[in-house]
Structures are given as C-alpha cells and as structure tokens.
Amino acid sequence: MKIAIVGATGLVGSVMLKVLEEARYIPFDKISEIIPVASEKSVGKNLFFNNMPRKIVGITDAIAMKPDIAIFSAGASISLQYAPLFAAAGTFVIDNSSAWRMDENIPLVVPEINASLLNRNTKIIANPNCSTIQLVLALSQLHQHLKIKRLVVSTYQSVSGTGQKAMEQLMNERAGTRTNMVYPHPIDLNLFPHGGTFEANGYTTEETKLLNETRKILGDNSIRVTATVVRVPVTGGHSESVNIEFEKEFEMQWINKLLSSTKGVVVQDDPEKSIYPMPKYAEGRDEVFVGRIRRDESQPNTINIWVVADNLRKGAATNAVQIAAYLMNNELVKS
C-alpha cells in the first residue's frame, strides 16, 4: 500500500508515523511508500520514517500521487476541503478531525466494535474523538449483553489532547518561564472544567461529542449520556470516571468477565495492592485500561468504572492505523 499522512509534522501525525514504524498492525512489506504531507512551510523538507528520509509534499501533489490510503490529522477545515478530492481519486481517507464524524453517510469506526461497516465504497471514514474511543471500547461488550440505559462521564484529559502548544504551555509554566497561553488559565498545578468551546446549553463541544459519538458507534440513540470534561496537567493519557446504568440485572463477576474478554481492553483492578489504571503507565500503550470496577450502591443495575488510555495512540493514531489494517486485511484496498 501507498499511505499518505496528512499533517505528518503535527503531534498526532508524528505518532501515526511511529505506530506505522512499529509494524504491529501493518507489516513493512505491505507498505510500498509513505507520503508525508504538510503545509507549504514544510514542503521540500525531509522527515524520517524507519530511519530513511522522506520528502514532505504538499496536499495537492499528494492527491496526484494517488495513495491507497490517506490518514488525515490536519484539522476539520482541511479535511472538509481535501478528503473528497482524495476520495474522488480512489483513495480511502481516514480522518481524525471532527469534520465527518456525525455525517450519517460516513462510518465512525472503532475497529474492535464496528469495522464491519466498512466496504469498498466507504472512501471517507471518520476516526472518533480520543475520549470517545476509549469509552466505547470499554462499554462495547457491556452494552451488547446488558444494554446501557444511562452514562454519567467525567473525563480528565491531558494537555496533549490540545496539541503541541498546550504541551509547551505546561512545560514552560512548570519551568517558571514565560509562555504563550493556549488555555484561558494556567494548567500547571491546576485543572479546569473546560474542553472545547461552550455551547448555548452550558455544555462544551467536547462534552457533546461524547454524547453523539457514543450513540453513533454503539448504534443506540436511546442511551442517555451526560458528561463533564476536565483538563488536567498530564502530558499524555486521558482518564474517565464512568457511571453506567443498565437495563438488566447482573452479577459483578459477569461484569469483570465481559470487560476482561473485550478485545483491546486490559483490566487492572486490585485495590488492595493499589493497582488501577493511571495515565503515567498507559502512555505509549495501545490498550484501554479499566479498573475501580464496583457496583453503584445508590441505585439498581449500575456500576462505576475508571478508564484510561493514551489519547495520542489508541485515542487517535493507533485507531486510524488499525482501520487501515482492516481495509488491507479484508482486501477492500489493494495490498
């Protein structure tokens, strides 16, 4: 396959290249060419992939090169403008922005859950929001067997979810040096309940994404979801406190069994030994970690869980590469 990475010099784009370099999902012998794509200021410069220099090209030239797959992480406006042009040239587009996620004609895919939606005609594929991916993967088997009625989600999101400039703000604050303010407040030794932009109903765009994307991926608009997004001074890894109400009764042993059998999920739940998921140890990993699994004793058929994952890997880059691998392995794209 010939694979283009649009936004290759950005934070998520660089992780996409790293995941491809690891060859965990797509072997090197299946990739004939990597095409790094970036803005005009980077065109002509070299970017290294697998210890070999690759010349960065502009997006128009990349379309003309007709890659088999183009993985986008360059913002919604770029995706809206150029993804259809790649698709018209026969390229499968896997888009990491919010541009296409809620389009009813575009599949929103977490491969372990709904890759069966993909076919030769799904030329544009949406990669979900980072906090949504880890949430729905943890919920997928639980919903299938017990049917979720309601979710109360509080997320504790790392600054890497905002981008490289937010990482610089945190590190500069920690070092006591002057910094450009990406956030409306200092983030070091602080946290604030603000992710995305505020909407008329008082919720933020990040909170609304959790509602809409969860319903779409799990294929159930009856699930009630309420969310609060919190930004925390962590460099990598999102954490989520999730309260889940089911329609059916259950035994806790079954909950643990379902979570342990969910592909891509690792259960870390031994409170007596202080074992539970933490972003410090999830960073750099592709799995979604679940712990603090316990019954909510305030109402029936309800549990609490704690979900942690690396937002740049499974929350973005890894999920996109897994989609590309599915396209290849199921011969939806030539290999």
- DSSP letters, 84-145, are HHHHHTT-EEEE-SSSSTT-TTS-B--HHHHGGG--TT--EEEPPPHHHHHHHHHHHHHHHH
Biggest CA pair distance of the chain: 61
Q: 56-86 pLDDT, tens per residue? A: 999 999 999 999 999 999 999 999 999 999 9
334 lies in a domain? Answer: no
* Closest to 41 in 3D by CA, of 79, 68, 9: 9
**Does 130 participate in catalysis according to the annotation?**
yes
Which residue in 130, 143, 185, 194 is the catalytic one?
130
185-188 LR contacts (CB < 8 Å, sep 24+): 187/159, 187/231, 187/232, 187/233, 188/233
335 lies in a domain? Answer: no
Do 155 and 257 lie in a common domain? yes
Do 285 and 162 lie in a common domain? yes
Give the DSSP H or E segment for 166.
Answer: helix 164-175
| Contact between residue 263 and residue 276 where contact means Cβ atoms under 8 Å apart | no
Phi, psi of 181 (to 5 degrees): -90, 105
d(CA 43, CA 37): 8
Q: 187-204 pLDDT, tens per residue? A: 999 999 999 999 999 999
SS3 39: coil
Specify the amino acid at residue 149.
K
254 lies in a domain? Answer: yes
Do 60 and 201 lie in a common domain? no
Do 143 and 250 lie in a common domain? yes
Do 79 and 225 lie in a common domain? no
Q: Which residues have CB under 8 Å from 54's CB, separation 6+?
A: 34, 35, 36, 46, 47, 48
Structure tokens at 335: 């290999």
SS3 333: coil
211 lies in a domain? Answer: yes
Question: C-alpha angle with apex 237: 3 to 147, nearest 5 degrees?
Answer: 90
The verdict on pTM exceeding 0.85 is yes
How distant, in Å, are the alpha carbons of 33, 133, 198 from that of 148?
Answer: 43, 17, 27
Indicate left, alpha or beta for 79 from its phi (over 0: left) and psi (-120 to 50: alpha): alpha
d(CA 109, CA 141): 16
Do 87 and 123 lie in a common domain? yes
Do 288 and 152 lie in a common domain? yes
Question: What domain range is 22 assigned to?
Answer: 2-128+316-329
Structure tokens at 59: 């997006």
Q: 296-306 pLDDT, tens per residue? A: 999 999 999 99
What CATH number corresponds to the domain at position 148?
A: 3.30.360.10
Length of the chain: 335
Do 203 and 264 lie in a common domain? yes
Give the DSSP H or E segment for 6.
Answer: strand 2-6
Counted domains in the chain: 2
What CATH number corresponds to the domain at position 114?
A: 3.40.50.720
Do 302 and 166 lie in a common domain? yes
Q: 82-98 pLDDT, tens per residue? A: 999 999 999 999 999 99
pLDDT band at 335 (very low <50, low <70, confident <90, very high): low
Instruction: Check pLDDT > 80 for residue 269.
Output: yes
Q: 37-56 pLDDT, tens per residue? A: 999 999 999 999 999 999 99
38-43 LR contacts (CB < 8 Å, sep 24+): 38/7, 38/8, 38/9, 38/10, 38/13, 39/9, 42/9
**Does 145 participate in catalysis according to the annotation?**
no
170-174 LR contacts (CB < 8 Å, sep 24+): 170/233, 170/235
Which residue in 145, 185, 194, 238 is the catalytic one?
238
SS3 192: strand
| Contact between residue 219 and residue 143 where contact means Cβ atoms under 8 Å apart | no
* Closest to 5 in 3D by CA, of 58, 73, 51: 73
What is the structure's pLDDT at 254?
96
What is the structure's pLDDT at 124?
98
Do 25 and 70 lie in a common domain? yes
Do 268 and 145 lie in a common domain? yes
* Closest to 311 in 3D by CA, of 279, 281, 335, 271: 279
Do 29 and 56 lie in a common domain? yes
pLDDT band at 326 (very low <50, low <70, confident <90, very high): very high
23 lies in a domain? Answer: yes
